[in-house]
Amino acid sequence: MIRRSASLGIVAGAVLLIVPAGAEAADALANLPRDLSPWGMFTNADIVVQVVMAGLVVASLATWTVWLSKTLELRRETARARDGLAKLEADVTLAELRSPEEARDAVAQLVQSAAREASLSGWTFDDDFKERVALRLERVEAAMSRKITRGTGILATIGAVAPFVGLFGTVWGIMNAFIGISEAHTTNLAVVAPGIAEALLATALGLVAAVPAVVIYNYLVRGIANYRALLGDASAQVLLLVSRDRGRSARLMARGG
């Protein structure tokens, strides 16, 4: 009887130890977030992780906005530059090509700048005239290049920074997950998994923001390089036009003499 009573006491003690632990784990499981969709993980994440995720989403939207606006601008300006270059290759004079003052495309700006210098020089093509025109054309090219590249720096910044921002959100979320494990006094995977999933979502959003930004930046850089090449060709054509006008002026002066 004594041995049987001792055995029953041991079993009862074990049950008392197990029941609270089981009840504690059940409470922990009951408090777990059931919605593990991306939106559910966002709403259940720590405030710092939420701020990181929201910032990455805004960065991704900015990337696609810049892509749309710059792609349309590049296509429009490239088409205008090609049309202007075709006009420069025709047998015309600088005075005939002089565009209206409201024309704002790059080739028109190049022609206007050269015509402005010719007007200031009294349409006298002296030895230094071509050098002065070349300096003006360089300034116009630089201004047009700055204008067409405006906004691409955002893509470079997002592509470089977004992965690290996402990694910061992941580190912060995992840190909070381990703190929750310590407070729950359990290493049950069902308790650990939601917090880690929320943390990893920040890294995923960082990659979603960074990868398109890098790809779009490289795409725009190639388009901008092509546009700059067209401007270089247009500047060369303007200088050739100035040289031809100078030759025509010299022949007219010789005939008049």
14-53 residue pLDDT tens: 333 333 444 444 444 445 445 666 666 767 777 888 888 8
Same domain, 12 and 135: no
The answer to whether residues 249 and 125 touch, using CB atoms and an 8 Å cutoff, is yes
Distance, CA of 70 to CA of 150 (rounded, Å): 9
Q: Do 62 and 153 belong to one domain? A: yes
Provide the domain limits for residue 22.
Answer: 1-31
Same domain, 14 and 68: no
**What residues have CB less than 8 Å from 81, skipping those under 6 apart?**
105, 106, 107, 227, 230, 231, 234
Residues 8 and 134 in one domain: no
Residue 200 burial (C-beta neighbours within 10 Å; 0-12, 13-18, 19+): middle
One domain, residues 60 and 25: no
Sign of CA dihedral 187, 189, 194, 196: positive
Claim to verify: residue 57 and residue 148 sit in the same structural domain: yes
What's the pTM value of the predicted model, to 2 decimals?
A: 0.74
87 and 20 in one domain? no
17 and 144 both lie in a single domain: no
Q: Using an 8 Å Cβ cutoff, are 118 and 91 in contact?
A: no
Q: Can you state the angle between helices 47-88 and 152-184, rounded to 10 degrees?
A: 170
Give 185-224 pLDDT, tens digit per residue: 666 666 667 777 778 888 999 999 999 999 999 999 999 9
Domain count along the chain:
2
Phi first, then psi, for residue 33 (nearest 5°) are -70, 130
- Could you tell me if 165 and 198 lie in one domain? yes
What is the per-residue pLDDT across 113-162, written as a single tens digit (0 to 9) for each? Answer: 888 887 777 767 666 777 888 888 899 899 898 999 998 999 999 999 99
Same domain for 44 and 128? yes
100 and 181 share one domain: yes
User: What is the rounded CA–CA span in Å between residue 257 and residue 253?
Assistant: 6
Q: 136 with 116: CB under 8 angstroms? A: yes
Contact 194, 216 (CB under 8 A): no
Give yes or no: residues 55 and 12 share one domain.
Answer: no
- The runs of H, that is alpha helices, within the chain are 2-30, 38-44, 47-88, 94-97, 106-120, 129-149, 152-184, 189-256
Q: Tell me the average pLDDT of the chain.
A: 76
